[in-house]
Amino acid sequence: MIEQIIHSVLLALHNIALVGCAAAPFYNRALVLKRGHYGPKLHYELDKVVEDTLQGNAPYCMVFIAVLFATGIGIPLNHYFFHGAFRELHAVAWVAVGLKLACVFAMMVIMGQIFFGLNPRLREMFATFEAGKAPPPEREKEFFQTRARRKALCETCLKFAIGVLVFSAFIGFGA
């Protein structure tokens, strides 16, 4: 009974993290697409909201990935602790585990590039802008090019997040 309770708690946390991993880039994407309607010209107040929102979501993404990873390890270890062996999986389930892990690691690499490379650079650039004052054209161009790079990486991350959700469904295959 204790094993099932631990398994259920780990699975619930894992599922919440799975949803968070997909929801965060999905909603960030929606915000970025809406912002795109205004073109590559700085609208200080609008762009401040966009940057604050996107960069404010970064810690949540990190937590979701950490929980996903920890519970993904915890679930099989829970079984091992109570039974002295890992659960046998069907070949399809093993392929799903491998693909899911590949997606999670790819998301971690992408998030590292965004959170530790692009976001600090965007924050630094945006700090030089002022409300009601047009930025230097070369600075504005660089800002929107960096944003475009982040957007492309986020689009890729969303695809990997969807992969995580899809491959998760096949881990119970043959059980």
Q: DSSP string covering 90-112, please?
A: -HHHHHHHHHHHHHHHHHHHHHH
Low-confidence ranges of the chain (pLDDT < 70): 175
pTM of the model: 0.86
* N-to-C CA span, the chain: 19
Q: How many Å apart are CA 151 and CA 33, to the nearest integer? A: 9
Q: What is the pLDDT of residue 175?
A: 65
| Paired tokens of 69 | 């990873």
